[in-house]
Structure 1
Amino acid sequence: MHKWLLSFRARMAGLLAWVPRPVRRLLLWTVVAVPAALLVFTLALVPFTPGISDIRKAKSELPAQLMSADGKLLAEYRWANREWVELNQISPNVIDALIATEDHRFYKHFGLDWRRTASSVVLTLRGDPQGGSTITQQLARNLFPEEIGRSRTLTRKLKEAITALKIEASYSKDEILETYLNTVPFLYNAYGIEMAARTYFDKSADKLNVLESATLIGMLKGTAYYNPVLNPERAQARRNTVLSQMVKRGKLDAKQFETLQKRPLRINFERQTEVMGPAPHFAIQLRKQLIDWADSKGYSLYSDGLVIRTTIDSRLQAYANQAVARQGRQLQGVADTAWSQRNGWGPKNELVQTLVRESAEYRAAVDKGDTPDDALKALLDDTAFMAKLRAEKTRVQAGFLAQDPVTGHVLAWVGSRDFAQDPFDHVQAARRQPGSTFKPFVYGAAFANGATPEDTLMDTAVEIPLGGGRVWRPTDGGPPSDQPMTLADGLAFSKNTITAQVMQQVGPARVAEVARALGVRQSKLEEVPSLALGTSPVTLKEMISAYSSIVNLGRYVEPVLITSIEDRNGKVLETFAKPVPEEVFQPRAAQTLRNTMRGAVDRGTATAIRTRYGIQADVAGKTGTTQDNTDGWFILMHTRVVAGAWAGFNDGRITLRSDYWGQGARSALPMVGEFMQQAIRNKVIDGNDRFVDEFDTSPPPPPDSSLSTMRDWIRGLFRTDPQQAPVPGMPPRPAGAGGLPPVTTDPPGSVSPPVPAEERVGGE
């Protein structure tokens, strides 16, 4: 070697002797300066690459876990749709194919393969660009795409090389392979080898054979270009290239290769949806709040292994999911019959024509130059399109929520029948007319003004002037009985005529005020007479909060979703304070209202709770149905749980087209009934708990002048201004006195929304 160096120096000296001295000096400076400058530049890039701590953190990346109150996993917050598997849970065929194709000296280098890098440079200069990155360098790009980038520049390659060296210093070789195979993307929102195996072959990663492994590893050169679903011929050719590399590196027998390369590409493709656990809408609802919290505290929701303790009870969540799924299937059968081609879904139906005109396919056809009539006719004749449109529009939806009225803890949250099919949240985001479930706020306002459940009104036709010659005439399912009826029965049987008269006395403004105070705090309430029958859209979450305030005797408790957040080691990072009950309504009036609402369950529109579901616990509630049976509601109150459900369609123009199934007592009540039945039967909820009266509710002694009271009542029946007619037991109060304000008329020009129809059960 020494002689060779001396000979080399002599030859170089001879060559340089012919070079002018200034040029020789420049060449020498270049030989020294360029590597030195490159070294300085490389060292300057080190601070701009991920640190060792970042790399170690990435290696142990853990998604945040959302836990139920009883310690069950509800969801994980991940960067991507990925399920991490250990190296021993991955087929050896995958590892052999990967190393043979991407980096056959993987176990011999320290992150950089100089021979491969030099070879790639030579081939690139010849016009055949080749990648020279090792598996470790590729992992550096996968873990830190923003810090390193993917542009073909010297800076990027140097940052990649520096990071690769740091990874080799932090990871073992097996850890590098495991991390790489769990982070590489495979299209279709599938990240990592496990999700790829499920997506393309419907099996787990440990079950992949040689052909399947070669197909997936072959995709790494270009996931879209070698996509076996869209480009099967390219994918098969690339698969065979991988197999040949396995033969070359001694990982596959040549005879096997001859047989395997002739086999066709067999794909069992199924796009994988992200699993969000048993309470997906709840998890999504919390995500933004948790991201904001984590950012403010210097944590990552997706990688720091946070543990979020929630108020959800996994048992109650399971009962709610089952109840919604079962009733959803039942109602879907009704909808499928109601909207079959024979019964209503056809080209002559005006609503169907409107739905077609609103479709993206119709707009696309018109944009291409078709006339509106031609586009409409073509789509109406398209059997596949019409079937798809019908399935989308007539898909029954539902929402369910259960909450502890005392603590405010949300116990169960079901936002739709199927999160994957319809992620829209019908608990928090959907605003629908509540129908008769809004009536308790009317009666609550009356009780706060001195009325009692025993007060009576005539079940007779009602006309309420709205101004401008308009008159509102609320009706029930049948003609009025023209008989006296107590307020208790009016609420139990959900009589519109009785409720409208009570609304006359207390006024729409006061009813809206009561509803807002109790919990309907985000939705706008139109202060018009028909508000009494639930014409202003609200959310299920608001209604559950308001009913919880009734159980809580007029004390509002903000709904609680999270109790604490811990780090990955169990250290509590933050405990969320319990909400302070806010007294928003007269406790005695709330108690009277709560007790009166037992009537709907005991003898009114919700008796199925007793007769069908056998629930004998001390409960109260209210059903609700809106115009044309568009929305069905039911909310049930228990001492420690308020549970409510809504059923309907995303498009309010679609209904079940059934006066029987469209009622809240038959569409929404079964979800709550089954939920409570299971919860009590399995002793998750104590069926022996009873409401406690904090105030004396014994009726006051009769007035001395019963004849005078009767005379006033009769006189009121014949007053010309029904807006001023007094309600028995509800004496008008002077301005400035306690209780309710004087009755006021609607402002000029006010518009009353359509009056919702009510259930036809028990006279409702």
Structure 2
Amino acid sequence: MAGVLLAGLLAPASLGAGALSNQVSDAVQGISATLATNEQPRVTTVTDSAGHPIATLYDQFRLPVTIDQISPAMKAAIVSIEDRRFYDEGGVDVKGMIRAALHDTSGSGSQQGGSSITQQYVKNYLINVVDRDDKVAQAADRADTIARKLREAKLAAQLGQSMSKDDILSGYLNVVEFTGNIYGIGAAAQAYFHTTTDKLNVQQSALLAGMVNNPNTYNPYAHPERALQRRNTVIDAMVTNRTLDPKDAQIAKASPLGVVGDSPEIPSSSCLGSAPDAGFFCQYAVIYLMEAGMSLDQIKTGGYTIRTTMDPGVSQTVKNAVDTNVPPTQDGVANTFAVVRPGKTGHDVLAMVSNRSYGTDVSKGETSTNIVSEPSNVFGSGSSYKIFTAAAAMQAGKAGLDTRIPNPGSQCFTPPNANRYTSCYPVKNDGTYADPISLRDGLATSPNVAFVNLETQVGMPAVVDMARRLGLRKTLTYSDGGREPITDPKNPLSKDEQYNEPQSKFFQDKLSFTLGDSPVSTLEMANVSATLMSGGMWCPPNPIASVTDAAGKPVNVKHEACEQVVPTGLANTLMVGLSQDTKTGTSAQSARAANWNHADIGKTGTTNESESVAFVGGVDDYAVSSMVFADGPHPQEICPGNPVHLGNCGNGAFGGTVAAPPFYRAFSQILGSRPDIPIPPADPTYLNAR
């Protein structure tokens, strides 16, 4: 501690000994324990269900290594240039600190360092770990003050007694910065040389060791001549320190810098760097974990391995299908698609894709909004919402699958809670239908009048609540304007119920609900199918298979509990009603064109102006939702064709003709020739009104 004491003696007289002692003690308290654990921000890896990486998440790109994983050349280089007495001194370089202290107080002008590697480890740990989110504290960590230097010296002395030299050296090499967002020797070896730390040769080690002193000044891309000169200085220091033969040094000094490319190569730090079929899934997984209690900083610095439920085969096949249907750069048209696996104990998400990719380059058709999981289809999914009306009517006993429902060609309905000034709600069918029509045939052919008629009998609260129960948990918390309700009184939209109320409240008196003209989530509609296919058991759409920490220990993830939201008999009977859509219903023609002949369920939807069309259904153990909707600033009618496009085509797109084909294309490949899982039989309880 002689150097520390001398530094204190050389402090300006105006800084009292008591004040200096208090500053140092206050700063040191609690930091020693943190340093001893050597916990540093790490890279979190997100994988698909097979364990293949789909994204890296980090605040600092760091790949920690042990001392045994660092090449002898790298260890020799850093010790030779930064602290050649490292293995002989305590935590503080007494000789160096005395020399620097005497020199800096002599009035000669220039300042000298005196820090050991242990002290540098302390300083870098404070800057890059403890205070990484606090600019003011980082400035104090760099300040050229006696108090700061004494704090470092005291911490270094403590570390010298509690940690081995090898642990200190590896801790130091793991924490230092190498320009940009590259931290630690493991990340630097990969970014600069596409290698690992155990394979670093003399010239590579010398370059990296030389950068530690000033990463920006000795950046080999920005300042190659300075970097070369600094590298060679390190090589000479290795000779002086007798860790490198002079002949080998000459060979190393004659070699080029050898860095890769035009800049260091590091992976994306977020889900924006994921493959086109994985970005939305990755982002949804991160949000899911945050809602389960993990902070974003915890996720990005914890070094976790997040294994998702994403099925790489299903995901890529579905992605190819939607890209074929609507090209990624198609102006103003999005095709989103979600796949969920039904189950009594959980609903695992298998795929979340779109013709758009998750990104920021609009010219490539990318979007930074998760248009698969969020209620981003602001135009709605059309008649697929008739599922909710049918389920509510069956539960209330107002109708069964064979119940015949009044179905005139048009009708004007009195809205709920109407008064004498309330106008009736006009509804007409798009085509010719039987009158009355059975609920079974109505689900297949989708007449509007019959379902609004049924909605009036059941009551809006029951229908809206059924939508929530079956799966629209987040969708119904959004306003009819397609965003979270606006409550800020300064916003003029806060006075408009279309924008200031959640849909769960807004639609309590609006019969248009069953026609699906409100914002909706593609993922949640797929989960509606999963609820029915699970015998009426709702579970949250889960993207997480497992999470393990940096040490490989499992991390518990909280999941919402599954709920039996409708009786199994009702769910099975409703599926029987939905099983005719691809056989005799609204998507049958497209199914035949695709040679589709599987036992499945389906319900299509088309909005009034064809700004959105949908197919919601499932086959075997896959629940699906495909939605094609206008997503640009100037929405228009969606027109069928090759490709699907915006326009004024007179007869616009329909759910059966535009949203269903990607389903047939993808699942014809996914299912292959495997035997179908049959649709469960109907429960006689739900065949007729009670």
How does the TM-score come out when normalised to structure 2?
Answer: 0.69
Deviations 1:370-409 (A, max 9, x none): xxxxxxxxxxxxxxxxxxxxxxxx5856352414242233
Q: Which residue of 2 aligns with 1:160?
A: 152
CA gap 1:257/1:61 in 2 versus in 1, 3 angstroms: closer
2:233 to 244, 257, 267: 244
Q: Is the 8 A contact 1:453 1:486 kept in 2?
A: yes
Shift of 1:273: 0.3
Q: Which residue of 1 aligns with 2:262?
A: 267
1:519 correspondence with 2:501: no
**Gap regions ≥5 residues in structure 1:** 1-27, 340-393, 700-729, 731-738, 740-764
Q: Is the 8 A contact 1:563 1:576 kept in 2?
A: no
Q: Is the 8 A contact 2:335 2:626 kept in 1?
A: no
Structure with greater proportional strand content = 2
Q: Which residue of 1 aligns with 2:388?
A: 441
1:120 correspondence with 2:100: yes
Residue identity in the other structure for 2:603 = K
Q: Which residue of 1 aligns with 2:409?
A: 460
Q: Which residue of 2 aligns with 1:195?
A: 187
Once structures 1 and 2 are overlaid, which stretch shifts more, 587-596 or 211-220? Answer: 211-220
Shift of 1:534: 0.7
CA gap 1:129/1:616 in 2 versus in 1, 3 angstroms: farther
Shift of 1:189: 3.0
Map residues 444-523 of structure 1 onto 2, 5 A cutoff: 444-447=391-394, 448-454=396-402, 455=404, 457-458=406-407, 460-463=409-412, 472-474=426-428, 476=430, 479-480=431-432, 485-522=437-474, 523=476
Q: Which residue of 1 aligns with 2:532?
A: 550
Map residues 424-439 of structure 1 onto 2, 5 A cutoff: 424-432=369-377, 433-439=380-386
Map residues 163-562 of structure 1 onto 2, 5 A cutoff: 163-200=155-192, 215-228=207-220, 232-233=222-223, 235-250=224-239, 251=244, 255-256=250-251, 259=254, 267-270=262-265, 272-274=267-269, 279-289=281-291, 291-292=293-294, 313=309, 317-331=311-325, 333=327, 336=329, 339=331, 396=334, 398-412=336-350, 414=352, 418-419=357-358, 421=360, 422-432=367-377, 433-447=380-394, 448-454=396-402, 455=404, 457-458=406-407, 460-463=409-412, 472-474=426-428, 476=430, 479-480=431-432, 485-522=437-474, 523=476, 524-525=502-503, 526-527=506-507, 528-558=510-540
Distance (whole Å) between structure 2 residues aligned to residue 110 and residue 418 of structure 1: 55
Shift of 1:172: 4.3
**Number of residue pairs matched?**
597
Q: Is the 8 A contact 1:45 1:159 kept in 2?
A: no
1:140 correspondence with 2:142: no
Tell me, what secondary structure is at the counterpart of 1:599?
coil
Distance (whole Å) between structure 2 residues aligned to residue 504 and residue 35 of structure 1: 84
Q: Is the 8 A contact 1:438 1:532 kept in 2?
A: yes
Distance (whole Å) between structure 2 residues aligned to residue 499 and residue 305 of structure 1: 52
Residue identity in the other structure for 2:315 = N
Distance (whole Å) between structure 2 residues aligned to residue 262 and residue 564 of structure 1: 42
Residue identity in the other structure for 2:148 = R
Residue identity in the other structure for 1:512 = V
Distance (whole Å) between structure 2 residues aligned to residue 157 and residue 395 of structure 1: 61
Give the CA RMSD over aligned residues. Answer: 4.9
Map residues 106-117 of structure 1 onto 2, 5 A cutoff: 106-117=86-97
Deviations 1:23-70 (A, max 9, x none): xxxxx9x9xxx9998997799569615345x44532698777878888
**Gap regions ≥5 residues in structure 2:** 1-8, 132-136, 361-366, 416-420, 477-501, 645-652
Distance (whole Å) between structure 2 residues aligned to residue 264 and residue 691 of structure 1: 63
Shift of 1:578: 8.3
CA gap 1:249/1:289 in 2 versus in 1, 3 angstroms: same
Deviations 1:469-520 (A, max 9, x none): 67645553xx546877543333223344544444455454443232233332
Once structures 1 and 2 are overlaid, which stretch shifts more, 488-497 or 609-618? Answer: 609-618
Shift of 1:599: 1.3
CA gap 1:457/1:65 in 2 versus in 1, 3 angstroms: same
Q: Is the 8 A contact 1:431 1:539 kept in 2?
A: yes
Q: Which residue of 2 aligns with 1:351?
A: none
Distance (whole Å) between structure 2 residues aligned to residue 655 and residue 606 of structure 1: 23
Residue identity in the other structure for 2:623 = V
Question: Looking at CA atoms only, which structure, 1 or 2, has the larger radius of gyration?
Answer: 1
1:624 to 588, 605, 608: 605
Q: Is the 8 A contact 1:600 1:622 kept in 2?
A: yes
How does the TM-score come out when normalised to structure 1?
Answer: 0.64
Distance (whole Å) between structure 2 residues aligned to residue 451 and residue 436 of structure 1: 18
Distance (whole Å) between structure 2 residues aligned to residue 398 and residue 174 of structure 1: 53
Shift of 1:597: 0.7
Tell me, what secondary structure is at the counterpart of 1:136?
helix
Deviations 1:80-111 (A, max 9, x none): 33333455655666545433433333344333
Residue identity in the other structure for 1:159 = R
Shift of 1:691: 2.0
Q: Is the 8 A contact 1:49 1:159 kept in 2?
A: no
